[in-house]
C-alpha cells in the first residue's frame, strides 16, 4: 500500500473538531483497474471516512492518497460521454460570445483531460492551454492539436506561467477542485493566473444534492471535498477570489457551476443560494447525521433485489466501469457472484477488471450480444444518455436497474 495521510483538521480552514458522517471502511482506489494476470496480487485498500467541518461547513474525507498514485496514469476519458461534451460545448460557445474572446485571448483548463472542452474554443479560433497531470491522457489531447502540459496545477505553476507572459481571460476547472489536497493553494494559483477582468468557471458536484439524493457512490479517494456554495464562498474569500455568480446544473447528479473573479459583487443567484443553504441547514451537523442510516437502508434494498433476481435464475450485468461503481460495489459487498460482467464504452477500460471485485470489463455492445436480463447502471448520472444508447438492448427485453436516489427498474 502506498503511503497516505490521515487528516485531523479541516483542509480548508484548518479547524479542529471534524464531525463524522459516514465510514466506508477500507476500499480500493476507485479507478485502479486491474489487468488480468495481476489478480493474484491483493488490491491496495485505504480507509475512507466522510466528515463535516462545523467551522466552515466543508464536507471532506479524512484520507489523502498521494496525487501521483491517483492521477499520473488515468483511465477516464471525458469525450466518451456525450452529455459531458455537450455541456462543455454549450459553456464554451456562451463564453466566447459573452466575453468577446478573440485570437489574442487565452482560455486555460485545469484537468483538461482529452480536450473535450478546449476543442470548442480552438475550433472558433480562440487560443487554449490544457493542464492535466495524466501523461497518457495529455498525449491524447496533444494528438488532437490541443497544447497540453502534463503537470499538477499549483500556485508555483501558475506563477511560472505568468512569468512566461501567459494570463488567462477564462480559466475552467471542471470536477477537479474536489481532487486537490491543497485547495487554498489551488485557488491562489487561479487568482494569480487570471487576468484582472477574467473569469474562473469552476464546476463541482453539489453536496446538498449528494445528501438529499443519497449519492454516496460519489465518495471515493479522488474526491477529497464535497462542496456547498457556503463552503466555496469562504474558500474563495480566503484566497483572493470572489463568487460573482452560480448556476445549479443537473449533470453528475447535481453540480454547481461557480463563476469567480478577482473583484466583483455577488449576483442575486449567489445571494439566494446562500440563503437557501442556510435554511437547509448547511451550518448544522443535523443536516448530515441521518445520511449514514439512509445509505444503509438503500444498500439493503439494492442487495435484496439483486439476491432475489439471482435466486430466480436471472442474469445480471452492470453498465459503466466507473469510480462511482467501485464505491457502490464495495459498500454493498457485491462482486462476481452477482454481476456477470461490466459493459463500458471506453476502449481504455476494455479487457481490464474492476478494482477489488475483479469483474471483467467488456465493450458496451456486449449488452446486446449477451443479453443479460438486467443491467445495474453504475453510471446513473448519465442514465438518460445511456438509455438512449442502449435502446436495442431494452427493445429486446433487457432492463436497467438504476440504484439512486432510489432503486428503480426501467
The pLDDT tens digits of the residues spanning 35-78 come to 987 655 678 899 999 999 999 999 999 998 876 666 555 555 66
The predicted model gives 398-403 an average pLDDT of 98
Residue 204 pairs in a beta bridge with 256
Residue 95, domain member (yes or no): yes
Predicted pLDDT at 59: 97
Average pLDDT, rounded, for the chain: 93
d(CA 138, CA 290): 41
Q: Which helix (H) or strand (E) holds 399?
A: strand 399-402
* Statement to judge: residues 273 and 376 lie in one domain: no
367 with 276, same domain: the answer is no
Boundary of a domain, candidates 258, 289, 320: 289
The three cell numbers of residue 255 are 453540480
**Do 326 and 249 share a structural domain?**
no
The count of other CB atoms within 10 Å of the CB of residue 245 is 17
206 with 353, same domain: the answer is: no
Do residue 230 and residue 298 come from a single domain?
Answer: no
Long-range contacts of 149-154 (CB under 8 A, 24+ apart): 152/67, 152/71, 153/110, 153/111, 153/180, 153/186, 153/189, 154/182, 154/185, 154/186, 154/189
- Identify the domain boundary among 254, 289, 324: 289
Residue 128 grid cell: 487554449
* 357 and 328 within one domain: yes
Average pLDDT for residues 169-182, to the nearest whole number? 94
Residue 169 sits in the same domain as residue 303: no
pLDDT at 72: 55
Residues 305 and 265 in one domain: no
H or E stretch at 400: strand 399-402
Determine, yes or no, domain membership for 304. yes
Task: Check which CATH number belongs to the domain holding 339 and give it.
Answer: 3.40.50.720
Domain boundaries, position 199: 78-289
pLDDT the model gives residue 1: 46
Q: Quick one: 285 and 315 in the same domain? A: no
Residue 36 forms part of a structural domain = no
**Residue 242 binned pLDDT confidence (cut-offs 50, 70, 90):** very high
Which one of 229, 261, 289 terminates a domain? 289
Listed residue (168, 96, 176, 105) closest to 134, CA to CA: 176
**Are 308 and 402 members of one domain?**
yes
Query: What CATH number is associated with residue 284?
Result: 3.40.50.150
- Count of structural domains within the chain: 2
Q: Does 399 lie in the same domain as 302?
A: yes
- CB neighbours of residue 91 within 10 Å: 19
Structural domain includes residue 278: yes
**256 and 323: one domain?**
no
Asked, for residue 235, whether it belongs to a domain, the answer is yes
In this structure, is residue 355 part of a structural domain? yes
Residue 21 lies in a domain: no
What's the mean pLDDT in 326-349?
A: 95
Residue 33 lies in a domain: no
Amino acid at each position: 500500500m502506498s503511503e497516505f495521510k490521515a487528516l485531523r483538521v479541516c483542509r480548508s480552514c484548518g479547524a479542529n473538531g471534524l464531525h463524522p458522517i459516514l465510514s466506508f471502511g477500507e476500499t480500493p482506489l476507485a479507478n485502479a483497474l486491474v489487468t488480468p494476470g495481476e489478480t493474484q496480487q491483493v488490491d491496495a485498500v485505504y480507509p475512507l471516512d466522510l466528515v463535516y467541518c462545523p467551522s466552515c461547513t466543508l464536507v471532506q474525507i479524512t484520507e489523502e492518497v498521494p496525487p501521483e498514485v491517483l492521477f499520473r496514469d488515468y483511465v477516464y476519458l471525458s469525450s466518451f460521454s456525450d452529455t459531458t461534451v455537450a455541456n462543455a460545448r454549450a459553456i464554451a460557445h456562451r463564453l466566447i460570445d459573452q466575453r468577446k474572446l478573440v485570437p489574442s485571448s487565452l482560455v486555460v483548463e485545469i484537468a483538461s483531460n482529452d480536450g473535450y472542452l478546449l476543442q470548442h474554443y480552438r475550433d472558433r479560433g480562440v487560443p487554449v492551454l490544457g493542464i492535466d497531470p495524466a501523461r497518457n491522457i495529455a498525449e491524447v489531447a496533444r494528438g488532437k492539436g490541443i497544447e497540453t502540459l502534463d503537470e499538477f496545477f499549483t500556485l508555483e505553476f501558475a506563477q511560472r506561467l505568468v512569468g512566461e507572459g501567459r494570463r488567462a481571460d477564462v480559466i475552467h476547472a471542471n470536477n477537479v477542485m474536489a481532487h486537490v489536497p491543497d485547495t487554498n493553494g489551488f485557488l491562489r494559483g487561479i487568482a494569480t493566473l487570471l487576468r484582472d477582468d477574467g473569469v474562473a468557471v469552476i464546476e463541482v458536484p453539489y453536496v446538498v444534492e449528494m445528501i438529499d439524493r443519497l449519492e454516496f457512490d460519489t465518495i471515493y479517494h479522488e474526491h477529497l471535498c464535497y462542496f456547498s456554495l457556503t463552503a466555496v464562498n469562504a474558500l474563495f474569500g480566503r484566497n483572493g477570489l470572489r463568487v460573482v455568480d452560480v448556476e445549479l446544473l443537473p449533470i453528475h447528479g447535481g453540480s454547481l457551476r461557480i463563476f469567480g473573479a478577482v473583484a466583483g459583487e455577488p449576483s442575486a443567484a449567489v445571494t439566494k443560494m446562500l440563503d437557501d443553504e442556510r435554511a437547509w441547514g448547511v451550518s448544522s451537523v443535523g443536516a448530515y447525521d441521518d445520511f449514514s442510516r439512509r445509505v444503509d437502508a438503500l444498500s439493503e434494498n439494492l442487495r435484496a433485489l439483486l439476491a432475489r433476481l439471482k435466486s430466480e435464475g436471472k442474469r445480471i450485468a452492470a453498465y459503466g466501469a466507473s469510480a462511482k461503481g467501485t464505491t457502490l460495489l464495495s459498500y454493498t459487498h457485491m462482486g462476481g457472484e452477482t454481476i456477470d460482467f461490466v459493459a463500458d464504452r471506453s476502449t481504455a477500460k476494455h479487457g481490464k477488471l474492476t478494482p477489488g471485485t475483479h469483474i471483467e470489463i467488456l465493450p458496451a455492445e456486449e449488452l446486446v450480444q449477451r443479453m443479460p436480463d438486467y443491467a445495474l447502471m453504475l453510471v446513473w448520472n448519465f442514465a438518460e444518455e445511456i438509455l438512449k444508447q442502449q435502446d436495442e438492448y431494452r427493445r429486446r427485453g433487457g432492463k436497467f436497474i438504476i440504484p439512486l436516489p432510489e432503486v428503480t427498474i426501467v
